[in-house]
Amino acid sequence: MGSSCMRIGKKDFEPQILPADPSNDKDEAKQLISQQSTNLKILDEERKFTRHSPAKIKHKAPKVDARKSIDDNVEALTAVISDKPKSPLDRKMILETLNSHFILKNLDNESINLVVENMKLYEIGPREVIFDQGSPGQCFYVLCTGRVELLINGHRKDVLKPGVGFGELALLDDRPRSGTVRTIERCTLWGVDRVTFKDAVKRVNALNHEENKRFIDSIPLFNALMPNQKDALLTSLVTQWWNNGQKIVKEGDEGDLFYIIKQGIVSCTEKGREIRQMTKGDYFGEIALLYNTKRTATIAAIDEVKVVSIGREALIEVLGNNLEQILYRNTLRIAVEKSNTLKGLSKEQKELIFDNMKVKTFYPGEVVIPRETLKGNNLWVVTKGSIRGPKSVIEIFACIGDDELFSEGNEPYAVDFIAELDTVVAHITKEEIEKCTGGRLSEVQVNNEAMEILKTVQLLRGLTQPKLAQLVQALKEIQFIDQEVIFNQNDIGHSFYIIKSGKVSVAIDGVNIRMIGKHDYFGERSLLFHDTQRSATVVANGPVACWVLNYTDFWSIVDERIRSQLMKRIELQDDTISFNELLPVKLLGKGNFGSVYLAAHKTKRTLYALKTVLREKIQAYEIYENILLERRIMLQLDHCMVVKLVKTFKDDTRLYFLMEYVRGLDLFDVLRNMGLLNENDAKFYTACLCCILEHLHERELIYRDLKPENVMIDEEGYPKLIDFGTAKFVHGRTYTTVGTPHYMAPEIIVGSGYSALVDWWSLGIMVYEFIFGSVPFGEEEDEPYEVYQRILEHRLQFPNTLDPTSQVKPLIQQLLSKSPAIRTGGSTEKLREHKWFRNFNWDQLLLKQKRVPYIPKLKTLENELNNAFKSQKNLMEVIMKYEKGDRVEVTRKKPKLPKPNWDSEF
């Protein structure tokens, strides 16, 4: 396959699947976010809606709403539905049918049993329609007695007999039925609707997840794991059932599995003699995880026993090769985070300290720290066991000597510190610590404090860690006395200020408007605009210490390219702009809920995309909360590779989103133009997407629909993520079926609950697509059913043309692991350290200093802008003109009225 390979074919036919989780709250269940129809992708002049023929539409083409709850029964309308008890034969037939379907057989036994319990009996006469072709899917059925026929376009295609299930895709979403099913004779069926099915699966999985989490938290071996590592561990647990008398482990066998008992009782015997019994919450086999040793006892089930287990190999995949070393490092991290004096060190500084600590084991009664040892010269961390100190017992996860590191005195300890148990202690001297941190601890702490504040300054958020570190070194501390004027309104600004201590009052035209204190900042615009007049007077309110960065020092550190980027960002942060200051240029796009216009600031000529959403449609589709969620999500995001929301407006007719205007092509079209990517180009786009996902996930946002169509390549050649219609704040796990079939992770399809790790699966699909020009699962399939089947089969294959020395294959295998925990290798930092990214400069990427693979060729907007400024049309009149004739077409009950002031955030 040559590099000129065009990316067209099956993928262009796919619909996107929207959330299908009626068991979630109502807002999520009917999330028809307007942003999905009036896409945030802003089209340049070369992008016409008729660019592709109808047979070559993109993934973003007609979508199926699968989040709406099922208010009324729309299938098998003539059936008599009852909760008749199931006989053993009924249960056997239903279970066999469920296990024959690839989606359903991936559920655990508890979920399947609960689904069976919730199935209702449908009794229906001959020649009756169960569901019509084209109608939205609602239920899955198992034919118990009688026969039914499958009709497609009015022609019989098949006759179904008892024991056959049909309609299972309705359990995922409400896509239109592909055929009509009609009874031939009187029939009985067992049926379950999507709401009941998803609620059952969610309840079982949510309860299991929380219970497993409590078990993991209660096991000392895992106490030193970080929260993200515990979450990763939870995804790797396997549930097993054992019957009375079965031996779970045998004395003398090699063992590498660790078990936690969730239900039942087991007997523990040595050499045939019972030494104890264990029950729910007990665990065994932990030594096998560390050392892969022989079993020292036999564990057998006394009654029906349920356990969750994890193997050494799975644990290594999730956490890394050396579990003991990981636990040791985590213990150090926890101890330092608990220390008030050390927690302010940077992550890099802490890791250097850990690298240089020396570890020593002490036995009970041994002296760990002799009396007369001078305070302030050493740091000890207890990583195992306990120590009897002068006042109390010092346990694991505790530091000794950390407070004294910052004191000037050298007073000796008055008593010995004695090990009470077998105890392991990590030790490092103050001198070695200061080598690791790069200076005196007191100064390092202050610099770190300033660094954290600089990271919060909106203007500086795009700068890399090294650049921020340089700015910290350029800061000068200045003291001000009570009532001293720091600067006056209308003074020319030359410096930026951060309050280190004290408070200042801010006044405009002689009127005090606010008081700001420690770690607040002011005057940042003077770093960009040297001749800018101060907009307020700032006066010290009591003694004040400020860190000050002046214009000259700032520009000795950042270059003109960075300045240009900062200028663009600060324009997008100007939320003082009013609706009347906008001039219409042209219509960019039109959707079901509103339109997107290109608008320009009347004096600055800054370009924006203005999205309008009609209140009438918000009410008709009851998407009040979804509109608010869209706004909240976008206001959380401030990244150079994510489309920026500037501000929102409202009036009695519409809500408005004023956004960054992104000129360019979407990545889907760019890939078509470029053909197959070489590994360097693929690495560029992959690294950009890694940075974007990291930004989202840090804010507990899951994107859930990562694919080329949702990524714009801007006029500089850098990606920009758009369209947050399926994004969601998630604290833990969610269960909504959402996404585009070819890019959906297995756990979304199965409905067992998922986290942000689904986005990394989608990235894995995209990396495969970058390199090989196709998606790895279901490339030749048009039907979502077939795509899901290929994903769950998980036959990941690579072309023979791939260079065997390339590290892209291991990266793709990692990202496309069925075990979510493996996808990032434990963290995004670990993913960045993957061999495929070796020698990749991540700082250059964020500073936009790396060579881009492709720059879109775009027509100039100059003529349209000149015409717009010449004609000076009224924006509101233009909007009303394009809305003329728009109708609200909603086939549902009368919509509910919103809560009073529901839009107060706009």
Which residues form the catalytic set? 705
3-state secondary structure 742-770: HHCCHHHHHCCCECCHHHHHHHHHHHHHH
Query: In angstroms, rounded to a whole number, what is the distance separating the alpha carbons of residues 556 and 306?
Result: 65
Cross-strand bridge partners of residue 538: 487, 506
Amino acid at 175: R
Reading the block at residue 220, the tokens are: 């000392």
CB 556 within 8 A of CB 471: no
| Length of the chain counted residue by residue | 906
Q: Is 213 annotated as a binding residue?
A: no
Kindly list the strands in the beta sheet with 476-480, ordered across the sheet, starting from the edge strand earlier in the chain. 476-480, 544-550, 495-501, 521-522
Q: E strands within 481-593?
A: 485-487, 495-501, 504-508, 511-516, 521-522, 537-540, 544-550, 582-590
CB 688 within 8 A of CB 847: no
Query: In angstroms, rounded to a whole number, what is the distance separating the alpha carbons of residues 343 and 329?
Result: 15
Nearest by Cα to 242 from 317, 198, 302, 293: 302
Place of tokens 């909106």: 458
751 CB-near residues (< 8 Å, 6+ apart): 107, 171, 172, 198, 201, 202, 735, 737
What number of other Cβ atoms are within 10 A of residue 116's Cβ? 18
Residue 254 burial (CB < 10 Å; 0-12/13-18/19+)?
A: exposed
CB 250 within 8 A of CB 284: no
427 CB-near residues (< 8 Å, 6+ apart): 357, 358, 359, 360, 378, 379, 380, 381
**Enclosing H/E stretch for 641:** none
Query: In angstroms, rounded to a whole number, what is the distance separating the alpha carbons of residues 888 and 620?
Result: 7
452 CB-near residues (< 8 Å, 6+ apart): none
Cross-strand bridge partners of residue 428: 379
Strand 148-152 to 155-160 pairing: antiparallel
- How far apart, in Å, are the Cα atoms of 45 and each of 39, 246, 671, 862, 868? 16, 71, 19, 12, 15
Query: In angstroms, rounded to a whole number, what is the distance separating the alpha carbons of residues 322 and 327?
Result: 9
Reading the block at residue 305, the tokens are: 């026993």
Q: Is 884 left (phi over 0), alpha (psi -120 to 50) or beta?
A: beta
Place of tokens 């010449």: 870
Q: How many secondary structure helices (H) and strands (E) does the chain include?
A: 27, 43
DSSP string, 592-622: SSEEEEEEEETTT--EEEEEEEEHHHHHHHT
Query: In angstroms, rounded to a whole number, what is the distance separating the alpha carbons of residues 326 and 554?
Result: 40
Phi, psi of 258, rounded to the nearest 5 degrees:
-110, 135
CB 131 within 8 A of CB 180: yes
Query: In angstroms, rounded to a whole number, what is the distance separating the alpha carbons of residues 743 and 723?
Result: 16
Reading the block at residue 65, the tokens are: 């709403």
Instruction: Give the three-state DSSP class for 258.
Output: strand
User: Can you say which residues are annotated as belonging to the binding site?
Assistant: 611
User: Can you say which residues are annotated as belonging to the binding site for ATP?
Assistant: 611
